[in-house]
Amino acid sequence: MDKLIFSAPINSLSFGNVSYNMLREFYKLDIELKFFPIGKDLDFSAFDKTTDDFKQWIVDAYNNRLKGIDKDIPFLKMWHLNGSESGMGDRRFLYTFHEIDSSTEEEENICKLQTKTIFSSSFSENVFSKKCSNCASVSLGFDEDFHETNKKYLSGKTHFGIMGKWEKRKHTSRIISLWAKKFGDNPDYQLSCCVGNPFLKEDQFKEVIKDCLEGKKYKNINFLPRLKTNSEVNEFLNSVDIDLSGLSGAEGWNLPAFNSTCLGKWSIVLNSTSHKDWANSSNCILVEPSSQEPCYDDVFFKEGNAFNQGNISSFSDDSFYDAIDKALINSGKYNESGSLLKSEFTYSKTVNNILEIIK
């Protein structure tokens, strides 16, 4: 394939990181790209390892997006189902993320509008295939800008980490609360939380932390500000011995837990949704779901809406603490099986598999 129209965001959020990595593979393949950024801005601030040539190629693909455009050129959008009813040309493809265990009529109709809807996980493909015949799934890859630093960070301590938006869906509050009850103020253990949410104001965020920790302050739990660059993210991932981000109850892939595992760290992962595509008993500490619960939090997931209706997976307190004990046995040991994921899941494979579907 030599021509493609691509629409996706470029920013420091997870969608922006996926877009950036896809663009880099299109660049390597020398595809003539017409780039229509979602959100209009080209925000490269997070990508501090990028090259000037690649950045200029993206800018040129944006500036020349209307030159030579044609309805016969395939159109690929990387976005939520909500907002993907619009597109260009006669052949429209959507790469999207979905986390919940059921689909709505609105989501299904948007899926059916596409020539092919490509989900990031086989779980989501199976959810939509019950009503839609044009579904596929393609896994994400490991970002080549991340790497092992081989540094020593917190000598004499076991360092736990959790990363991602603060949401009920991700069990953020529950994970931190359970950890605090076991390790709070124990100087041998540290928990670093990179869990902000751009939709929460500063005073709201302070309130959710206060509720989570029942008004207590612990010397060994710290909340980090937003990490501005991928180099900072890389340092955070490398500093952590045991990652807790994988206990999320519903994911389209879960980049923090996946990237940590690829870097040889031990991740505690709920054996549900997209996690099943990459996490197993040899490369992670798996936790079996104990139940399903409604996803609604009246903030990001509201019951009765046209999108994101259904359930997420949950886990018991006992299974959390059992997994912690298993992870502590492995703490300090390099996760060889996890590191193999770097070569098994690459963005080169991601993009080539998407292009095969388009062809």
Q: Are residues 200 and 131 in the same domain?
A: no
**139 and 194 part of one domain:** no
Residues 11 and 23 in one domain: yes
Structural domain tally of the chain?
2
152 lies in a domain? Answer: no
Ranges of residues in the chain with a pLDDT under 70 are 40
Q: Do 135 and 180 belong together in one domain?
A: no
pLDDT of residue 199: 78
Query: Two tokens at 51?
Result: 């090259």
Q: Is 243 helix (H, G, I), strand (E, B) or coil?
A: strand
pTM, to two decimals: 0.96
- Contact yes or no for 248/295 (Cβ under 8 A): no
Q: In Å, what is the CA distance from 178 to each residue of 168, 191, 287, 315?
A: 14, 12, 15, 12
Same domain, 265 and 175: yes
- Residue 229 domain-assigned? yes
* Burial of residue 349 (number of CB atoms within 10 Å: 0-12, 13-18, 19+): middle
Q: Are residues 94 and 234 in the same domain?
A: no
CB neighbour list of residue 311: distance below 8 Å, 6 or more residues apart: 100, 101, 102, 292, 293, 294, 295
What's the rounded Cα separation, in Å, for the pair 229 and 145? Answer: 11
Reference 263, options 287, 224, 235; nearest CA is 235
Instruction: Clarify whether residues 190 and 287 are in a common domain.
Output: yes
Residue 151 within a domain: no
Alpha carbon 57 to chain centroid, angstroms: 26
Residue 68 domain flag: yes
Same domain, 125 and 224: no
Q: Give pLDDT, residue 300.
A: 85
139-to-19, 299, 313, 336, 348 alpha-carbon distances in Å: 14, 29, 21, 21, 11
Burial profile 143-178: b = 16 or more Cβ within 10 angstroms, e = fewer: bebbeeeeeeeeeeebbbbbbbbbbbbbbbbbbbeb
Is residue 221 located within the same domain as residue 294?
yes
pLDDT at 197: 81
Look at residue 191 and tell me if it is in a domain: yes
Residue whose structure tokens are 């040889």: 264
In sequence order, the β-bridge partners of residue 144 are: none
Alpha carbons within 13 angstroms on the beta-carbon side of residue 115 total 17
Alpha helices (H) in 114-201, listed in sequence order: 122-129, 172-183
170 and 37 co-located in one domain: no
Q: Give the residue carrying structure tokens 């798996």.
A: 286
Question: What local confidence, expressed as pLDDT, does residue 184 receive?
Answer: 97
Classify residue 54: in a domain, yes or no. Answer: yes
Question: What is the span of the domain harbouring residue 93?
Answer: 3-143+346-358
- Residue 320 sits in the same domain as residue 352: no
In a domain, 339, yes or no: yes
CATH of the domain at 172: 3.40.50.2000
Residue 150 belongs to some domain of the structure: no
Residue 269 shares a structural domain with residue 171: yes
Amino acid letter for position 301: F
